[in-house]
Amino acid sequence: MNKSRFWTYAGLVMLGMLFSMPGSAQVPDTRLPSVVDSIRRTVLDSLRETEDTVLRIRNLNPYLTLHVDSTMNYNLEINKNPSHYFWYLRNSPLGLKINKDNGLLSFKADKSYFLSGRLKYDYPYKVTVGVQNLRNPAERVDTSFTILFFTTEIIPSRLKPTVNSTLYIDEGDTVNFRIECDEGSFPVEAISFYSNVPIKNYTIVKKCDDDFVWSPSYDFIRDSDSGKSRLVLLSFIGVNKFYAKDTATVKVYVKDALNYPVMLQEYQRTVKAVSMYVLQLKYSFLQLDKRVKNTKSTRTTFDLTTASSALGGTVFSSAASPAAQNTGRILPSAGVALVPVKEAVAPTRTAEQNSASLIRSSIKRLEYQLHENSLSGDRDMDIVKKINTLKSEMKQIQIQLIEVPIDENSNMTEEQLNEYFNSKKVMKKYKLKRH
């Protein structure tokens, strides 16, 4: 029989003895009420002790708030003898401790914990606390409470782009930087973005450490923009849980630039057009040169015949035979008669000769321009100037040769035309000579 039941039975027996005493006990006694009340209290306390047999924590507060740079000492109590139990914590924030013997919670909310980011303001930390019997492991209590730290000194959170506040770029270049955050008392929870002019093809920044990437197109600068540049204001707005805002602005000056890929395609088209026109001129030159050559051969034949007739007349005139002398008188007249025939059959090709010379000089000029205006590297910044030069030279030659028939139907390859055009006979024929 345990002690509490013993005292309960003892109290009941004493009460029965007191109330069953004989009449002589009716003598007034001033100590009797106090004795009865004491026994009654003892019995009631014993009854309450027998009812409170489940292990529990008496004074646990489920929600604790603590100011920064303050100290907390909070002694947890149980309804049993604490010397037979030990205390423990799980998921406790940095600095929160408990005495395993007596359940004393202690914490000093040092400000350095929050400045270093190891603890957060206004963040509910849920901590599990437990107590267990040293002799009976099955007898234990696991519960939890929430602790939150606050401060009256508000440190604002700031947005910090990883670039200077002013940038200068060209069209086609890429802007790439990160939006970082200096965390204050309350961290930035969302970031919004807007610009003073509509922009396209950019990455959206929603939270800290997101990258902003944007590349202005080559048609971004308008003709109405002064100085061939345009100012773009990029504004990033960060808000915390209380909708306190911080704005970071980056100025981007976009300058007019060359769309090099497009200009390269235009240059290649221009070079191809000039090269095709040169081939057409070479074929036309070949046709004109052949006409001049055939005419020259015919006229040479007539000249030789005329000269032979004159020489033959002289020879026959000196002969002894009268018939030969008569022939000698006729032959010079025949040679003279061949002259108008020669002019009628093979007139001088002066126009064709001049046109062939003009076409040859034009071909040489265009080939020189193609060589001089070739690209000097992967990104030749004078590509626009060279395109305009080639187009201008080709246009001038087309105007100069506007009356010269250009034959576009060629049955010869480029190698055959180049071989004829650069042959020694042709070069010697059209080479300028000193007189």
Q: Token pair of 231, please?
A: 């100012």
DSSP 382: T
* 3-state SS, one letter per residue, for 169-194: EECCCCEEEEEEEECCCCCCCEEEEE
Q: Are residues 337 and 410 in the same domain?
A: yes
User: Is there a domain that residue 85 lies in?
Assistant: yes
Q: Are residues 229 and 371 in the same domain?
A: no
Q: Give the mean pLDDT of 193-199.
A: 91
User: Is there a domain that residue 122 lies in?
Assistant: yes
What integer pLDDT is reported at residue 176 of this predicted model?
Answer: 94
The residue among 324, 405, 298 whose CA lies nearest residue 359 is 405
Q: Are residues 418 and 294 in the same domain?
A: yes
Q: Are residues 162 and 146 in the same domain?
A: no
**Domain count within the chain:** 4
Q: Domain boundary residue among 257, 274, 289?
A: 257
Please give the Cα distance from 268 to 387 (Å, whole number): 9
Q: Are residues 37 and 101 in the same domain?
A: no
Strands 97-98, 63-67: pairing kind: unpaired
Select the more confidently predicted residue: 292 or 178: 178
pTM: 0.47
User: Is there a domain that residue 70 lies in?
Assistant: yes
User: Is there a domain that residue 171 lies in?
Assistant: yes
Per residue in 115-164, pLDDT (tens digit) is: 788 888 888 999 999 999 988 888 889 999 999 988 888 788 899 999 99
Q: Are residues 183 and 272 in the same domain?
A: no
Q: Which residues pair with 170 in a beta bridge?
A: 255
Q: Domain boundary residue among 257, 289, 310?
A: 257
Reported confidence tier of residue 205, pLDDT bands at 50, 70, 90: very high
Residue 19 has pLDDT above 60, yes or no: no
Q: Crossing angle of helices 414-421/260-317, nearest 10°?
A: 50
Return the SS3 of 264. Answer: helix
Q: Are residues 327 and 311 in the same domain?
A: yes
Q: Determine the straight-line distance between the first and last CA of the chain, rounded to whole angstroms.
A: 152
Q: Token pair of 346, please?
A: 């093979």
User: Is there a domain that residue 214 lies in?
Assistant: yes
Q: Domain boundary residue among 241, 257, 273?
A: 257
Residue 279 has pLDDT above 60, yes or no: yes
User: Is there a domain that residue 57 lies in?
Assistant: no
Q: Are residues 307 and 412 in the same domain?
A: yes
Return the SS3 of 283. Answer: helix
The CATH code of the domain that includes 246 is 2.60.40.10
Give the CA dihedral 22, 24, 27, 29, nearest 10 degrees: -60
Residue 76 has pLDDT above 60, yes or no: yes
The CATH code of the domain that includes 333 is 1.20.1270
- Pair 119, 93: CB distance under 8 Å: yes
Q: Token pair of 374, please?
A: 């070739």
CA 400 to chain centre: 51
Q: Are residues 251 and 267 in the same domain?
A: no
Q: Are residues 176 and 105 in the same domain?
A: no
The residue among 207, 229, 222 whose CA lies nearest residue 157 is 207
Q: Is 376 exposed, middle or buried (0-12, 13-18, 19+ CB in 10 A)?
A: exposed
Please give the Cα distance from 201 to 213 (Å, whole number): 8
Q: Are residues 79 and 228 in the same domain?
A: no
Which residue segment(s) compose the domain that 206 sits in?
Answer: 158-257
Residue entry with tokens 């015949």:
305
Q: Are residues 146 and 168 in the same domain?
A: no
Give the CA dihedral 312, 315, 319, 322, nearest 10 degrees: 30
User: Is there a domain that residue 435 lies in?
Assistant: no
Q: Token pair of 123, please?
A: 């963040």
Reported confidence tier of residue 319, pLDDT bands at 50, 70, 90: low
User: Is there a domain that residue 82 lies in?
Assistant: yes
Give the other-Cβ count within 10 Å of 74's Cβ.
16
